[in-house]
């Protein structure tokens, strides 16, 4: 709400406030680090494919567990979308983008994402997400 209050007046039509807010705050990264590249979950390449798969990036970073329907036999015949699950916030969070710093290297451990759901809970989560 602070972003909306400071950037829009009541006569202005707000098209997509979340995306506009993300663009605004991610631009501050580039202001501080001019070589940085920011990519958002809503940006598409010329071939209409996502520029970044943020759920996959979240899983690889160890921040969330990425549950894919084809991992579970009982969902193999379903056309379900995958779902990320955070060990603290569950599914009530969003991965919206990444910042890439060219030339910066780090020797970081690649932690395995925390899997705090049983298989039946993961199947339930995927089903509820896709059918409700």
State residue 77's pLDDT score: 92
Tokens of 67: 């549950």
State residue 10's pLDDT score: 63
Q: Across all residues in the chain, what is the average pLDDT? A: 90
Distance CA 61, CA 55 (A): 10
Q: What count of residues does the chain have? A: 132
pLDDT tens for 43-98 read 999 999 999 999 999 999 999 999 999 999 999 899 999 999 999 998 877 899 99
The set of residues, in sequence order, having a beta carbon less than 8 Å from that of 53 and lying 6+ positions away, is: none
Global pTM?
Answer: 0.77
pLDDT tens for 97-123 read 999 999 999 998 888 898 899 999 999
State residue 40's pLDDT score: 93
């Amino acid at each position: 709400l602070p972003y909306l209050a400071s950037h829009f007046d009541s006569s202005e039509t707000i098209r997509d406030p979340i995306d506009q807010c993300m663009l605004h705050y991610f631009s501050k990264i580039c202001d501080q680090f001019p070589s940085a590249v920011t990519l958002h979950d809503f940006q598409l390449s010329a071939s209409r494919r996502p520029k970044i798969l943020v759920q996959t990036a979240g899983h690889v970073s160890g921040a969330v567990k990425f549950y894919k329907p084809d991992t579970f036999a009982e969902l193999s015949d379903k056309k379900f979308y995958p779902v990320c699950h955070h060990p603290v916030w569950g599914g009530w969070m969003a991965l919206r983008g990444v910042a890439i710093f060219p030339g910066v290297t780090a020797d970081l451990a690649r932690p395995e994402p925390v899997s705090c759901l049983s298989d039946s809970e993961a199947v339930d989560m995927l089903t509820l997400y896709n059918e409700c």
